[in-house]
Amino acid sequence: MQLLRMIIAELCWRWGTALLAVLLVAAAVVSMCWADAVARGAADVTRRVQRDIGTNLVVLPPGTDTTAWLLRRQSSGALPMAAVDQLEASGLAGRLIPLVRRVVQVDGEDVLLTGVGQERAGGKRSVFARDVDESGVVIGAAVALSLDVQVGDELDLPGGPAQITDVLLPEGSIDDTAVFMPLAQAQRRLHLEGHVTEIEALECRCSPAVADPGAHVISLAETAVPGAVVIRRQAAAEARRKQRDLAEAIAAVAGPAAACAGLLLIAGMAWFNVRVRQQECGVLRALGWTRGELVVLLAGRWCCIGFDGAVIGLIVAMMLTEGAPLWWWILAAAPGAAVIASLLPAMLGASADPVEALRS
């Protein structure tokens, strides 16, 4: 209790330096929470960028002529729906989209009839698959222009007419020439019940031990679906990897860097505090205080400062990083870190010769 009273009395007596130290700890806590918020923001940006990049794998039926597929986006064969389950079970992909694509004639124009299945293996919400429903079809901008149709009109498709529910904005891709509908409807219209003509996928992250991610994912796909033709969009895959590595680097460096900077500042201030209190340490030693008691007194001061600074820092961080999870364990960690940072200066101050300290 005597030590505690001494610590409180010393903080009140030297309230100016104590307040400065509390603000220093608070600034370090805010920096750590802000760095965590930045890292989480970078991860969110990464997810959005990767979503916009799209899928990077296409699994096609055995014997598909890749040149013909690249030209017209349709394969000559088909895969059973069980192939989707096999790919999902293999752990190959974070997202799987079963598709049926066939070039059909509508009023003398070629369009790419595309059935879109439920997105698999990636969670509850669809990210990459087109939003389509049973009420009608969604058409690309080029189809609307070439056929001079709009929302509410009907298209004479194989298997019967279908009403247009939406027209996509121009994308500059093959989807501009497509007519999208639910997978089951396209399978029925094209007599491909229980089959798909391709499976688009977003490859899962490979272990760092995998030297060639491209060869690895292609091997997994061919093992899950023997004979399948696998196309990997190398540029998209590499863009994903680089963006993900950048986000992880920010998360790994930002928080520890802010913490180390705060510890160094606290250690410097603790050293300064010990230096200006050299005579006080000498008086206490002359009055019979041991080195251990002096170390506890000096370090205890920083324990109180660390707790107060953590409380203030978390309150400020809560206002600055709205919606970000805060590190409440800092209330315990900050006092401990402050004690560790001040321990060496405290030990040096407590080890000073009382006679020399009183002379200075």
Q: Which of 126, 108, 105 minimizes the C-alpha distance to 117?
A: 126
Q: Which of 113, 97, 193, 179 minimizes the C-alpha distance to 140?
A: 179
Q: Give the pLDDT of residue 10.
A: 66
Give phi and psi for 77, each to the nearest 5: -105, -160
Is the pLDDT at 50 greater than 70? The verdict is no
Residue 303: other Cβ atoms inside 10 A:
17
CB-based contact 46:184 (threshold 8 Å): no
CB-based contact 53:236 (threshold 8 Å): yes
Band of residue 360 on the pLDDT scale cut at 50, 70, 90? low
Q: Extract the tokens encoding 294.
A: 């002096």
pLDDT tens column, 175-207: 899 999 999 999 999 999 999 999 988 776 655
Band of residue 247 on the pLDDT scale cut at 50, 70, 90? low
Query: In the chain, where are the structural domains located?
Result: 2-44+244-359, 57-232
Question: For 273-291, what is the mean pLDDT?
Answer: 70
Q: What is the C-alpha separation between 138 and 103, in angstroms, rounded?
A: 16
Is the pLDDT at 218 greater than 80? The verdict is no
Higher-pLDDT residue of 13 and 77 is: 77
Rounded percentage of the chain residues whose pLDDT exceeds 70: 72
Q: Give the pLDDT of residue 6.
A: 67
Highest mean pLDDT: which of 238-247, 333-342, 346-355?
333-342
Q: What is the C-alpha separation between 321 and 317, in angstroms, rounded?
A: 6
Q: Do the bridges between strand 195-196 and strand 109-116 make them parallel or antiparallel, or are there none, so unpaired?
A: unpaired
Is the pLDDT at 258 greater than 80? The verdict is no
Band of residue 98 on the pLDDT scale cut at 50, 70, 90? very high
Q: What is the C-alpha separation between 73 and 329, in angstroms, rounded?
A: 54
Higher-pLDDT residue of 153 and 268 is: 153
Q: Give the pLDDT of residue 332.
A: 75
Question: What does the CA dihedral 55, 58, 59, 61 come to, rounded to 10 degrees?
Answer: 140
Q: What is the C-alpha separation between 44 and 51, in angstroms, rounded?
A: 11
Residue 12: other Cβ atoms inside 10 A:
9
